[in-house]
Amino acid sequence: MCRIILVHPVSAATRGGLSFLVMLAVVFVGTAAASAQPSPAAVAERPRAAPSEEPAPAALGLSLAEAKVAQDKAAELFREDQFTAAAELLRQAYLGDSRPILLFNAGQAYRKAERALEAKAMYEKFLAAAPEHPLGPETRGYIKDMELFIAMQARAKEVALNLEEQLVATQTSEKQAARRLEEERLRSQQIRQALLQTQTQLERDRKKLVSRRRWILGLGIGSSLAVAAIVGVTVGLISNARASTDGGTALIAK
């Protein structure tokens, strides 16, 4: 359940009087709704603690009328769930209407926008400006919630960072593995090409050797035939010579 109290500032005419009447509209967001009217003392204007507590934006000289317009616009934005814009307008309105309740409302808007750091800062400024305000206990509870939420956000950020680092490491490992695989593929391709070249060279050498053996065999056969021919011719010549000398011979008795 989120409660935001929308405070309308008094007009410039009644602000100079000794007393004034403040209208409070209480909006309850949630399943249960109730209305409450805080005492005039709870919403009485308080002087700002010190100029250093608030930043000094360009709208430092915001008038009361401008502050009222900013509050009305902030209420409209809050109803439209534009919580961050509503919170910023409430902070601007506080520059012209320094009632602490505007800080509380800004904290509520920031909390609804899940901007825990800004919400915690607004709640703490509210307590510093109005430590005895009836909304003090509720505000302290919100501060604890914001501190827990901030711690959870920090933890979630840490986990996300660790996951991102692991993802980067995994991607790096995958790239390295892919690079090693590509290197192995290229090396295997080079070895395969070298084997093919070796096989081709061996086939060429085998063919040369076969051709040389055939030539040597042919040469051997030719040489054998030549020798046989020479032997045959020689034997023929010897036979012819013997036949020519045998004619007209006589036996000599011993």
Quote the Cα angle for 5-45-14, to 5°. 100
Torsion angle (degrees, nearest 10) of CA 54, 56, 62, 66:
-70
Mean pLDDT, residues 123-130 taken together: 96
Question: What is the rounded distance in angstroms from the CA atom of residue 171 to the CA atom of residue 148?
Answer: 34
Mean pLDDT, residues 223-249 taken together: 65
The two three-digit tokens of residue 246, written as one number = 């045998």
Tell me what pLDDT residue 20 has.
32
Nearest to 80 by CA among 113, 105, 104, 106: 113
The secondary element (H helix, E strand) that includes residue 174 is: helix 136-246
Helices (H), 23-82: 64-79
Checking if the pLDDT of 168 tops 50, the result is yes
Neighbours of 204 (CB within 10 A): 10
Neighbours of 66 (CB within 10 A): 17
Q: Tell me the pTM.
A: 0.47
Query: pLDDT tens-digit profile of 90-115?
Result: 999 999 999 999 999 999 999 999 99
Tell me what pLDDT residue 229 has.
74
Return all residues near 179 (Cβ < 8 A) that are at least 6 apart. none
Tell me what pLDDT residue 248 has.
54
Query: pLDDT tens-digit profile of 170-222?
Result: 888 888 888 888 999 998 889 988 888 888 898 888 888 888 877 777 776 77
Tell me what pLDDT residue 175 has.
87
* Most confident residue range from 62-66, 130-134, 182-186: 130-134
Q: Locate the DSSP E strands across 19-140.
A: 24-29
Question: What is the rounded distance in angstroms from the CA atom of residue 231 to the CA atom of residue 183?
Answer: 71
| Cβ atoms of residues 84 and 115 within 8 Å | yes
Tell me what pLDDT residue 22 has.
30
Tell me what pLDDT residue 27 has.
31
Tell me what pLDDT residue 123 has.
97
Split at pLDDT 50, 70, 90, the class of 245 is: low
Tell me what pLDDT residue 246 has.
54
Tell me which DSSP letter residue 49 carries. Answer: S
CATH number of the domain located at residue range(s) 2-30+44-153 in this protein: 1.25.40.10
Checking if the pLDDT of 64 tops 80, the result is yes
Tell me what pLDDT residue 15 has.
36
Query: pLDDT tens-digit profile of 1-54?
Result: 566 665 544 333 333 332 333 333 333 333 333 333 333 333 333 333 333 334
Q: Locate the DSSP E strands across the chain.
A: 2-7, 24-29
Question: In whole angstroms, what separates CA 8 from the centre of its chain?
Answer: 47
* Backbone φ, ψ for residue 3 (5° rounding): -120, 130
Query: pLDDT tens-digit profile of 33-43?
Result: 333 333 333 33
